[in-house]
Every structure is written in C-alpha cells, then in structure tokens.
Structure 1
Amino acid sequence: MAVNNFKIQILSRAKLEIDEAATYYESKSKGLGKIFYLEFKSYHKTLENIPFFEEKYNAVRTLPLKKFPYTIHFTVDENEKKVFVYAVTSNYQDPNTTRIKL
C-alpha cells in the first residue's frame, strides 16, 4: 500500500486543547497526561498516512481517540496533501460550543 505522507498542521486552538487535556489528566494521575499526549501523537501518525475518515459536518472530518473521550476535528486538502487539525474536543462538551466553523 502506498503511503500518502500528508503534512499535518495543528492550528492554535487545537494545540491549546491538547495541552489543556494533557494537563487535566496529569493532575488526575502522574503520567496520565503523557499517555494522553502519546495517544494523540499516534493518531497524528495515522492522519499523515490515511486521513480520510468520516465527514461529520461541512468538510470537517472526525477521528475519536480510543483510550480517552476526545475527538480530533480536521479537514483534508488532497491537492496540497495537508491535514488541518482545527480542534481536539472532549466528547462530554456541549456540541453547540465545539462545532467548528469554516
């Protein structure tokens, strides 16, 4: 199978959400924040290779994490071979406040 090698661009909102989640989990148990971050990084690698997950709204695709109740929200530019990560949201947040607007 050919590897597409998409370039990942994590926007500032998503970076902040990743840091906040890792900090939250680290406050709950030493090392848990690092585990959250490492899981996100493994999905980062997945998106580099095969970013064509389900479209939820408009052109925004979503990819839920397995170990933590968070979902990655992103778009794919096939021509530029780029993935733009807009948000990494908690599945417990109100969806009306986390909806990504393009």
Structure 2
Amino acid sequence: MAINNFKLKILSRAKLEVNEAANYYESKSKGLGKGFYLEFKNYSKTLRNIPFFEEKYNIVRILPLKKFPYTIHFTVDEDEKTVSIQAVTSNFQEPNSTRIKI
C-alpha cells in the first residue's frame, strides 16, 4: 500500500477543536496537551492511507481516538482522493453543540 494515497484537509473548525482540546489537557497536566495533539496527528496520518472507517452520518465517517475520549469526523472524496476532517468532538459533548453541520 502506498503511503499518503489521500490528500488531507482539516477544516478551520476542526483545527479550533483540536487546539481547544490540547489547551484543556495541557492545563490539566504539563505535556498532556502535546500527547493529545500527537495522537490526533498520528490518526490523521492513518486517514491519509486508510480513510474507510465507519460511516456514521450520511457521508460523514468517524474515527475515535484510543487514548483520549474524542472522535474525528471526516468525509472522503474518492474521486479527488481527499479526506476532509470536519470536526474533532469530545465523546461527552452534547451532540447539538458541535460545530459540525450534517
């Protein structure tokens, strides 16, 4: 399997959610925010190679992080070979308060 088969786009709202979560974890324990960011970054790399995870909402797919209670919400355009990360939400977040529009 070739590396980086898909281009990765991270929408600005998803970037904001990642930064908010990393800042929150960093405020709880030094280095924990960096750990969150690195896990997100590693999972993002996975999506570039293997983006066909569970389809949850119409065309929106999800990939839960393992060490942190967050889920990546993304879409895949097979024709353009692009993965677009739409949102990164807490598993404890009220579903109606997410920035993602389905």
TM range (shorter): over 0.9
Runs of 4+ in 1 over 2 A off after TM superposition: 1-4, 96-102
Aligned residues: 102
Deviation at 1:96, TM superposition (A): 2.2
TM-score, normalisation: structure 2:
0.94
The aligned counterpart of 2:100 is 100
Q: Distance in 2 between matches of 1:43 and 1:24?
A: 20
The aligned counterpart of 1:7 is 7
Q: Please give the residue correspondences for 1:1-102 in structure 2 after superposition, counting only pairs within 5 Å.
A: 1-3=1-3, 5-98=5-98, 100-102=100-102
TM-score, normalisation: structure 1:
0.94
**Are the counterparts in 1 of residues 87 and 99 from structure 2 also a CA contact under 8 Å?**
no
For structure 2, which runs of at least 5 residues remain unmatched after alignment?
Answer: none
For structure 1, which runs of at least 5 residues remain unmatched after alignment?
Answer: none
Q: Distance in 1 between matches of 2:90 and 2:72?
A: 9
**Partner SS for 2:93:** coil
Q: Distance in 1 between matches of 2:16 and 2:98?
A: 14
